[in-house]
Amino acid sequence: MGHRSDSPRDGFRFEAVSVVADGATIVDEVSIVLACEGVTAVAGPSGAGKSTLLRLCNRLEVPTAGRVLLDGIDLAELDPLALRRRVGMVFQRPVVFAGSVRDNLRVADDGAGDETLGEALGRAGLESSFLDRRADDLSGGEAQRSCIARALLTGPEVLLMDEPTSALDVDARATIEQLARSLADQGIPVVWVTHDLDQADRLADRTIVMIDGRVVDEAATERYLAARSFEDPDT
């Protein structure tokens, strides 16, 4: 694909980053740059370390070794809460709280009026009438879009999306993919984790493949994408 945002930045730089938990290596000496432009897919099979890689970008995880930088600044030097407003996150399953959609959105901006909240919903593809809906009455796709609206209220510089369509039906999945593409084209870059190579191919400007905690090289990435499989393309 040829989509690109208009204002590429340095983005996230991983310098020999490893994450070890309970004696197991989840991320293994990864050195890559995730450019803050367009849609970047991080693809891999279950257990490859891709979600951990994503969570490192807003300090929901911290490196056991190495460091992660955003626009040249070590994330360890940044306030985590301030960072998470700059680097929004949408999880695999929508995280909604008791109360109305309005209540849920105000978690991100407690002083926002209905006009601002309605605009955020509109950017996420929902009508402002959803403000009065009970959050736990939403469909899976509606709940995920409300979570995206909530993330947008912080004015993020980049949006992290961790398999955001894996629990959704085909129609809802297509809607969220189109929304991510639209946000990226508007200048909010997206880093999207997926186990679906077909999804990565149709959505992403760039795809990074992780296998067993490591990022594979460009040639291997092309072979995995061509095969549409995480089976070893050399065997």
Nearest Cα neighbor of 28 from 234, 213, 233 is: 213
List the chain domain ranges. 9-227
Residue 91, pLDDT above cutoff 70: yes
Residue 42, pLDDT above cutoff 90: yes
- What's the CATH number of domain 9-227, 1.10.287.610, 2.60.120.200, 2.40.30.270, 3.40.50.300? 3.40.50.300
Please report the pLDDT score of residue 35 as a whole number: 78
Residue 152, pLDDT above cutoff 70: yes
Edge-to-edge strands, sheet with 24-36? 24-36, 9-21, 65-70, 73-74
Which pTM was predicted? Answer: 0.92
Nearest Cα neighbor of 174 from 196, 191, 154 is: 196
3-state secondary structure of 8: coil
139: which 2 tokens? 């469909």
Residue 195, pLDDT above cutoff 90: yes
Please report the pLDDT score of residue 7 as a whole number: 39
Q: pLDDT-derived band of residue 203, with 50, 70 and 90 as boundaries?
A: very high
